[in-house]
Amino acid sequence: MPSIFTRIINGELPSVKVHEDDRTLVIMDINPIQFGQLLAVPKNEVSSVWDLPTEDYRALMDTVQKAGQSLKALFPDKKIGVMIEGMEVTDHAHVKIFPFSNAAEYHAHPDINHPPEREELEKLASKLAF
């Protein structure tokens, strides 16, 4: 069965896209640790970034860098955090990129009871697009 990210990549599930190329996809996270969190996903469905072929790994990390630069430009007073492979999706490698101000914000848990509104995510995605 395809992963949730493969289903998003294939257009079977909705998402708010920030960037897409032939090897990667960047979407807004609907359950962010901090507002503005992005998910960078390789199109090659593997369970760990360490299992990616070298070219796919390099493409993913290049995309992560660009996503971080977009976040830094939009949130210049914040640090940009990176988490590789969150625990909630274990069957498809991914990287979380998000703005934060302090250790408490970095280690916060998503508030799944109050996700951002889609319209709000779409506005932010248009500012972060690269």
CATH topology of domain 4-128: HIT family, subunit A (3.30.428)
State the DSSP H helix or E strand holding residue 98, giving kind and residue range, or none if neither.
Answer: strand 95-100
Q: Write out pLDDT tens, residues 45-75.
A: 999 999 999 999 999 999 999 999 999 999 9
pTM, 2 dp: 0.94
Report whether 18 contacts 27 (CB < 8 A): yes
So what's the pLDDT on residue 90? 76
pLDDT-derived band of residue 91, with 50, 70 and 90 as boundaries? confident
Burial label, 67 (beta-carbon count in 10 A; 0-12, 13-18, 19+): buried
Q: In the chain, what are the domain boundaries?
A: 4-128
* Dist CA 100 CA 115 (whole Å): 17
More confident residue, 86 or 89: 89
pLDDT at 87 > cutoff 80 = no
Report whether 64 contacts 26 (CB < 8 A): no
